[in-house]
Structure 1
Amino acid sequence: MRSRHQAKQTPTLVVVSRLFALGMAMTSLLSVGAWGQRAPTTPNVPWLPDHHSLERHTTAVATHEAPIDEEHVYSLGELIDIAESNSPTTQAAWNRAKMTAASVGIAKSELYPTIIAAVSGTTYLNPQLFGPTFVLQDWAIFDTEIHLAYTLVDFGARRTEISAAQARLVAANLSFNNEHLILIRQVSQAYFSLLRARGLREAAEVSLNDARTTETAAQERRKNGLATVPEVLEAKAATAKAAYDLQSAIGAEQVEIGNLARVITANPVKPLKVEPLDQLRIPDKLDQSVEDAINTAFKDRPDLQADQARVRAAQAEVKHAHAAYYPSLTFDGSKGWIRGFGEQYDSPGTYAKTFTYGATLALKWTVFDGFRRENSISNAKAEEKVATEEVRDRQDEITNQVWNDYANAATALEQRQAAAALLSASSESYSAALESYKDGVRNFLDVLAAEDALAQARAIDVIARTQVLQTFTDLDFRTGDLLTNHPKGKNP
């Protein structure tokens, strides 16, 4: 006949056995997918995943498309608004800044005590050697406890870590601003590139019309016996070339539409209307010296400011590494309530409950750690020097960038004036050559040369106007002014 303890022990073993079997079964199920994963068998052919693996181990991300009003004519400011509201790069930079802000909160949490509430239940059956025999003891304990741990003094270790985290947050916020600055420039340049392509397409249309006019004049003179067949054929060839150039310009315009749609996260298939080049004000002078532009860049460039914030973070990390040489004073305390039941074989059981508490005040001072602290300080100082040199390199880079873009902007202004004069002269020359040809004073080759020169002058004028806009935008980008002085849409 089984004893009372043997009767109690049997259900316990059954429960434990069943739990163990369930755990083994779950482990087998969960490991099937892991066992099914293999690296490519050879380096010679691509890996061909099965459909089940793709569904199980990849996540489909929904595409995002900025809404566009097909009838609205968008200004540059409105295009920038759309891009800033929908760009994945600014969204990612924003979330990186939020991650860094959370790290500041994590660092600050060290200033507060840690409070842990714990509840545990324990039961076990084991033999104890009592005198000459083993005696079975059955225990059951239920314990609740509130535990408090707090660092009272650490000689600035926590404060320096918080300072470093705060400096990194400033750097992340400035990097977020820099992403906006880059995005504004990308939208502006894509917009100006589209205007250039559209202007070149319009110029090609006018040039094709001029070629047809010249061809008509040659045919009229041929009917009157004043022109030769080669002249008419040359006129037709010039018209065909103008038609070819127009198709190239149309294709280039479509490419730029796609580039602008990409920057503002729109669908290039849908029509996108933008303000034409003729409605934009073309700057006619530079309003600051190159020295002022460089100084402005040193003051306002967010990427340089972010690098400077990283220097501050590195300096705080050096102080934090030094703080490891000092002791820390901590307090640990707990208060709880415990109740327990126990019995020995062939003895009556007993029950007890009571409140419990504990308190510990500890002074910890690391005497030797295998030169860990010394190496940590050396590492932190090296990182500080790296960050400092990166600032200096950025300053040199900014100086060169501003100098080059300032020179490009000044050159674009001069080229704009020359292009306007060239267009005016070429237009008058073509008109005079065509009229003289109709009157029989000039030959046909003179008309073709004037026509070709006028087509080139139109293209140069379009390029020169957009070049001024692009170089001025580049200069504002290099100085950082573009972040606050860019064209505004609906957002202030």
Structure 2
Amino acid sequence: MSPRLLFAALTLCHSAMALAWDFADPLSTGTTRRAEASACDSARIQRPLALQDVVDLALCHNPQTHGLWANSRAQAAQLGVNLSNYLPTLSASANATRNQSQSGIAPTTTNHGQSVGLTASYLLLDFGGRAANLENAQQLLIAANATRDASLQSLWLSTAQAYFSLRSARASVAATRTAEAAAQESLTAAQARYLSGSATPADRMQAQTALSQATLNRITAEGNAATAAGTLANLMGFDADQPLNLAEDADLSPDPQVEQAIGQLIAEARRQRPDLVAAEAQIKAAEAQVEAARASGRPSVNLNATTSRNANSGTPDTRGNSIGVSLNIPLFTGMRTTYQTRAAEAQVESRIADRDRLANQIALDVWKAYQSLLTGSQALRMADDLVASAEQSERMTLGRYKAGLGNLLDVLTAQSTLASARQQRITARYNFLASRFALAQAIGELDLTQTTLIH
């Protein structure tokens, strides 16, 4: 084989591997890599974090993502292995010998020999075997990429939920501090009335008890907030004690547009969920494996070429060149091909069953997420009204008590109701936000645009 032909073969092999890598990551351009490097900058943790910042850092630094990308690259390399079957193989050999011989009293004779050879082989025809193996590798790569995307979406959702949990926990801290301040005001009013002779010691003790309970609630809320912060930092790939400064929260109201027909949402999920895409690719890969198993028992035709040069001391150099076509016909393989085909066909049936089970599970996931969204939307609408009426009731009863009318029990009841209403509004707000992301993930639409839902 000439050097020019060898260079052409190596170039083609390199192009095939490049195609495999592009198949694994088609968006891996210079501009994209620079943008990813900026998004993954660890220094962002020092700035106020919006939801998009949190998700970016989690996708960049969580160890799970590193393993997912490694699996995709490994499968891309397997695609390159199967692409190489369409290229010729080239091997070189070299030998050097030194022989000594002696007969009777004749002097010792020494012979030196050298030989070099170059052998090329190319598979001309195998009745679909390498094509089936290539299809299998391509479908497995599609499945690996889709599985990676599904796992990244799951990590995305977990990070968003942890982000909302931290916001909810910190909002609860603020609410308990407000309740603690209200309880302190009630105690001050009770003490003033006690000193003026218009209240009993029992009023003062009840107010002190209410203040102690409010203080305990505030301490508990602060502990929950610290736990939520550590959980979010861990998902982002940082130590649990990493300080987190969240950006200012935005106002939120229910969006009627998200309340779509459930049948349409299920259909969309079955069309674009990455894990279902992976299941479909696994079926196609298994079908290709059936064809590959069948092809293993069929004939194959190879083109072979050899060139060699031999040099031995005392004789002229010899050169040899050969080219030929070889035919290999498997006559009996001990039923191996039959059993391999049966095993591959059973694997197809198993993959189809897995796909159908997943399709049913997706429908249930969408249904649950949709119902959670509807519940959260309705709860959020009512939470503001509940807080407004509880605030009015608390102001009125406290004002009456300070004026010498009413009793302390009504004040403490109103304050407890207000604190509960505020907590319910906080829970409703962040449950609604989390349910929007959960529905997006159930449908398979969780991407960067979803972070604009709260800004």
TM-score (normalizing by structure 2): 0.85
When you count helix as a share of all residues, which structure comes out higher? 2
Aligned match for 2:434, one of 470, 474, 479: 470
Q: Secondary structure of 2:96's match? A: strand
Q: What corresponds to 1:152 in structure 2?
A: 124
The CA deviation at 1:372 is 0.3
- Give distance in 1, aligned partners of 2:322 and 2:108: 31
Cα distance 1:126–1:188, how it changes in 2: closer, same or farther (>3 A)? farther
Amino acid at match of 2:408: F
Mapped contact 1:79–1:264 kept (Cα < 8 A) = yes
Q: How many pairs does the alignment contain?
A: 413
The CA deviation at 1:269 is 3.1
1:244 aligns with 2:216: yes
1:371 aligns with 2:335: yes
The CA deviation at 1:365 is 0.8
TM-score (normalizing by structure 1): 0.79
Amino acid at match of 2:320: T
- Give distance in 1, aligned partners of 2:433 and 2:169: 14
- Give distance in 2, aligned partners of 1:244 and 1:318: 66
In the TM superposition, what are the counterparts of 1:90-129 in structure 2 within 5 Å?
90-123=65-98
Cα shift readout 1:130-165 (whole Å, capped 9, x = no counterpart): 9x9xx9986543221111111111111111111111
- Give distance in 1, aligned partners of 2:170 and 2:112: 85
Q: Secondary structure of 2:221's match? A: helix
Aligned match for 1:389, one of 334, 353, 360: 353
- Give distance in 2, aligned partners of 1:209 and 1:421: 22
Query: Percent of counterpart pairs with the same letter?
Result: 27
Q: Secondary structure of 2:90's match? A: strand
Farther off after superposition, 89-98 or 159-168: 89-98
Q: CA RMSD in A?
A: 2.4
Cα distance 1:280–1:321, how it changes in 2: closer, same or farther (>3 A)? farther
The CA deviation at 1:126 is 8.2
The CA deviation at 1:231 is 1.4
- Give distance in 1, aligned partners of 2:264 and 2:332: 54
Mapped contact 1:78–1:488 kept (Cα < 8 A) = no
1:457 aligns with 2:421: yes
User: Max radius of gyration: which structure?
Assistant: 1
Aligned match for 2:62, one of 81, 84, 87: 87
1:410 aligns with 2:378: no
Cα distance 1:207–1:223, how it changes in 2: closer, same or farther (>3 A)? same
Cα distance 1:163–1:136, how it changes in 2: closer, same or farther (>3 A)? farther
Mapped contact 2:230–2:242 kept (Cα < 8 A) = no
Mapped contact 2:113–2:312 kept (Cα < 8 A) = yes
In the TM superposition, what are the counterparts of 1:22-61 in structure 2 within 5 Å?
none
The CA deviation at 1:233 is 1.5
The CA deviation at 1:113 is 0.9
- Give distance in 1, aligned partners of 2:235 and 2:419: 31
Mapped contact 1:66–1:267 kept (Cα < 8 A) = no
Amino acid at match of 1:468: F
Cα distance 1:231–1:142, how it changes in 2: closer, same or farther (>3 A)? same
Aligned match for 1:429, one of 381, 393, 401: 393
The CA deviation at 1:85 is 2.7
Cα distance 1:126–1:485, how it changes in 2: closer, same or farther (>3 A)? farther
Cα shift readout 1:440-490 (whole Å, capped 9, x = no counterpart): 32111111111111111111110011110011111111001113532169x
Q: Secondary structure of 2:91's match? A: strand
Amino acid at match of 1:291: G
Cα distance 1:486–1:476, how it changes in 2: closer, same or farther (>3 A)? same
- Give distance in 2, aligned partners of 1:317 and 1:70: 47
- Give distance in 2, aligned partners of 1:240 and 1:481: 47
In the TM superposition, what are the counterparts of 1:51-450 in structure 2 within 5 Å?
67-69=42-44, 72-123=47-98, 140-277=112-249, 279-285=250-256, 286-341=258-313, 350-450=314-414
Q: Which runs of 5+ in 2 are unaligned?
A: 1-39
The CA deviation at 1:320 is 1.2
Farther off after superposition, 419-428 or 68-77: 68-77
Mapped contact 1:218–1:227 kept (Cα < 8 A) = yes
The CA deviation at 1:309 is 0.8
Mapped contact 1:283–1:469 kept (Cα < 8 A) = no
Mapped contact 2:52–2:448 kept (Cα < 8 A) = no
Amino acid at match of 1:103: Q
Q: Secondary structure of 1:370's match? A: coil
